[in-house]
Amino acid sequence: MATSSAPPIIFARDLHKRYGALQAVDGVGFEVAEGEVFGILGPNGAGKTTTLEMIEGMRTIDSGSAIVDGIDVSRDPRAVKARIGIQLQASSFFDELNLVELLKLFGHLYGRQVDAAKLLADVELTDKARSQVRTLSGGQKQRFSIAAALVNEPRVLFLDEPTTGLDPQARRHLWGLVRQIRERGHTVVLTTHYMEEAEELCDRVAIMDRGRIIALDTPAKLVGSLLGRGFTKERVERLANLEDVFLDLTGHDLRNED
Amino acid sequence: MRPFGVRPGVFWALFVASVRMFVRNRAAVFFSLFLPLIIMLIFGVLNFEGSTTIKLGVVDEAHNEASRNIASAIAGVESFEISTGDRDETLAALRDGELELALVIPASWGEMREWPALTAYAATSAQQDAHIGALILNSIVLRFFAGTTPLPESMVTVEQVAARDLGYIDFLVPGIVGMTVMQLGLFSVAFGFVQLKRTGALRRLFATPTSPVYFLGAQVASRLIIASFQVAILFGVGIWFGLQMFGDYASLAVIVLLGSVIFLAVGFAIAGWAKNEDQAAPVANLISLPMMFLSGVFFPRDAMPEFLANVTQFMPLTYVNEALRAIVNDGASLAALGPQLLGMGVWAVITFVLAVRLFRWE
């Protein structure tokens, strides 16, 4: 997809970010095509979040450049923010406001009137419309923060570790939500440290370690190139794993998350 | 998309959200509204004016043996709480409501066997006490002349003096208003904002194209409006308890808003510097507690040792309280409050600079 003729919606080149002695991001560059789900994979501290936040305009870029939907982030971070939706890692909202009030407020921050009921219905939180965020379960919070990131009908949706800390049912539910968002035409960039999540959701993944991208391709090709080098698992490949057992026993239905 | 430029709609939305967040935060409402109200009710009910003595000022202009004799006879009456001084200061104290009755012994009294009438000035604000006091004075003078014939024609003439009757409630309400303004600025901002910082709710605002300065402005505006409501409520309750308002409400509003600005700036300085509530709390208390007790909220600063009074007169809440009392109790206009306004202005500049320098969004 990166090779399609349309210009990439995200073009990041040679990004650097340093915190004191730590070179958090050390020359990262990639392109994301419109409509793609792009994953950044990596262990904790690999620089995934910092990379994302530089592209979002949430952090200044030490050197290198990021262009989102034709706009240089360093030059006009507000214009970029107006076109994208951001779900922060562990993002929280004003405690005293309910979900509808929050979505309407965020709509105003983008200069828009929003259909809060529709946004909540899309993330299956209609019955929580008058609740406060702190009363939501982990999965509901993540779904709400995706709804809040969609108030401006963004060209690109950034999700920073959207399923960290969720149980298997809630994680799979969120995957379904991300696929729906993609089907509606939004480009999605997400970070994760769950390999199967990347494999399930992403058209292409960049694997980061120590501030650099060490591999970037479709999940199938990454696995293929590894096998092509003669890799075999030490253990006999089983056709199911423990998570499959867990889901078989407990079902795919979302748990009562109140 | 027009995310730039001034957008009143955004400001209004953030303002409404700020007010909602405050009103729905039970701790904030309790500490900044109900606590001052409860303190006022307690002190209002306690009523420190329950004394049964009559406050009498004695002015001895004769300075002779006879005048000293009559003065000591008066001093022997247990119902009197006596202070002495010259004519002007005593009558001024009478008009201010500090005395209920003032007795002037004229200079010619007892000279050349002349006994001109003594004058008792009675405060109109304490008619009953003044009337009883005058009767007691008459009887003392009568006893003083017992056995002498003929009796002087008139012994004590009573003159009414228009006086204010300032009770403890009149002292307390301006102090409580000052304290509330301080608490609201310091605590609602220091804690609320630090919490938004710590949880990341503030950071979430950064993810939108709206400048966070809008949010800051909305927070300040909402606090100023809330402060005005609180002052109105405290005044309402105060008036119900007998508070007298001699000044105008516009001047009062100016002082309340200026005071709010000072303490909001302090609150933002703390919120900007602190990483979490545990850091903010001790600093906010360290700033507010000394002022609560040394800026004349509950008790007059006259009672303080001189060195302490000298130091504490420069505290921001002292200026606020002095200005509020001058307006409420004396009907002072803003023009008469030069020193206090100057003091508040200097503090507003200092705290604003501090807030700007210490403030960090993350």
Q: What is the DSSP string of A151-194?
A: TT--SEEEEESTTTT--HHHHHHHHHHHHHHHHTT-EEEEEES-
Q: How confident is the model at residue B143 (pLDDT cuts 50, 70, 90)?
A: confident
Average pLDDT over residues B14-28: 87
Question: Which of B200, B201, B208 is nearest residue A110 as measured by Cβ atoms?
Answer: B208
How do residues B209-223 score in pLDDT, each as one tens digit? 988 888 888 888 998
Sheet of strand A204-209: strand arrangement? A84-87, A156-160, A187-192, A37-41, A204-209, A212-217
- Contact: B209, A101; criterion CB under 8 Å: no
Residue to test with chain B: of A94, A133, A141, most B Cβ within 10 A: A94
- Contact: A88, B203; criterion CB under 8 Å: yes
Give B-chain residues touching A148 at CB under 8 angstroms: 204
Q: How far does chain A reach from its first CA to its final CA, in angstroms?
A: 41
Give yes or no for residue A15 having a pLDDT over 90: yes
Give yes or no for residue B72 having a pLDDT over 90: no
- Contact: B207, A82; criterion CB under 8 Å: no
Determine contact, residues B72/B105, Cβ cutoff 8 Å.
no
Residues contacting residue B65 through CB under 8 Å, at least 6 positions apart: B110
Question: Which of A86, A88, A97 is nearest residue B17 as measured by Cβ atoms?
Answer: A97
Give yes or no for residue A204 having a pLDDT over 90: yes
- Contact: A88, B1; criterion CB under 8 Å: no
Give yes or no for residue A207 having a pLDDT over 60: yes
Give yes or no for residue B32 having a pLDDT over 90: no
Residue of B nearest to A157 (CA): B207
Determine contact, residues A9/A155, Cβ cutoff 8 Å.
yes
- Cα B102 to Cα B67: distance, rounded to the nearest angstrom: 15
Give yes or no for residue B30 having a pLDDT over 70: yes
Q: How confident is the model at residue A230 (pLDDT cuts 50, 70, 90)?
A: confident
Residue type, A70: G
Report DSSP state, residue B112. G
| Sign (positive or negative) of CA dihedral A227, A231, A236, A237 | negative
Give A-chain residues touching B9 at CB under 8 angstroms: 108, 111
Give yes or no for residue B168 having a pLDDT over 80: no
Average pLDDT over residues B264-277: 87
What is the residue-averaged pLDDT of chain A? 87
| Sign (positive or negative) of CA dihedral B247, B250, B253, B259 | negative
Residues contacting residue A17 through CB under 8 Å, at least 6 positions apart: A23, A24, A25, A47, A50, A51, A54, A59, A61, A62
Give yes or no for residue A148 having a pLDDT over 90: yes
Q: Give residue A237's pLDDT.
A: 63
Residue type, A238: R
Q: Give residue A10's pLDDT.
A: 93
- Cα B46 to Cα B299: distance, rounded to the nearest angstrom: 14
Q: Give residue B2's pLDDT.
A: 46
Residue of B nearest to A153 (CA): B1
What is the residue-averaged pLDDT of chain B? 83
Q: How confident is the model at residue A67 (pLDDT cuts 50, 70, 90)?
A: very high
How do residues B279-296 score in pLDDT, each as one tens digit? 888 888 888 888 888 888
How do residues B310-357 score in pLDDT, each as one tens digit? 888 889 999 999 899 888 888 888 888 888 899 999 999 999 888 888
- Cα B188 to Cα B182: distance, rounded to the nearest angstrom: 10
Determine contact, residues B167/B104, Cβ cutoff 8 Å.
no
- Cα B173 to Cα B239: distance, rounded to the nearest angstrom: 9
Q: How many CB atoms lie within 10 A of CB A112?
A: 16
Measured between CB atoms, does A133 come within 8 Å of chain B? no
Among A117-131, B32-46, B72-86, the least confident range: B32-46
Question: A223 to each of A33, A215, B250, how far by Cα in Å?
Answer: 22, 11, 76
- Cα B57 to Cα B82: distance, rounded to the nearest angstrom: 6
- As beta bridge partners, residue A37 has A188
Interface pTM, i.e. ipTM: 0.82
Sheet of strand B118-123: strand arrangement? B80-84, B54-60, B101-105, B118-123, B156-161
CA distance A57 to chain B (A): 8
CA B142, B144, B147 angle in degrees (round to 5)? 85
Q: How many CB atoms lie within 10 A of CB A4?
A: 11
- Contact: A109, B21; criterion CB under 8 Å: no
pTM beyond 0.80: the answer is: no
| Chain B residues with CB within 8 Å of chain A CB | 1-4, 7, 9-10, 13-14, 17, 20-22, 24-25, 196, 199-201, 203-211
CA atoms within 13 A on the CB side of B41: 8
Measured between CB atoms, does A166 come within 8 Å of chain B? no
Question: A129 to each of A95, A125, A140, B24, how far by Cα in Å?
Answer: 14, 7, 12, 17
**Tokens 């409520």, residue?**
B233
**Tokens 């096998």, residue?**
A227
Structure tokens at B361: 């969004």
- Contact: A58, B206; criterion CB under 8 Å: yes
- Contact: B7, A111; criterion CB under 8 Å: yes
Question: B61 to each of A122, B93, B103, B264, how far by Cα in Å?
Answer: 92, 17, 11, 54
- Percent of chain B whose pLDDT exceeds 70: 92
- Contact: B3, A90; criterion CB under 8 Å: no
Give A-chain residues touching B210 at CB under 8 angstroms: 108-110
**CA neighbor of A150 nearest in space, from A170, A189, A122, A192:** A122
CA distance B184 to chain A (A): 18
CA distance B13 to chain A (A): 6
Q: Give residue B237's pLDDT.
A: 86
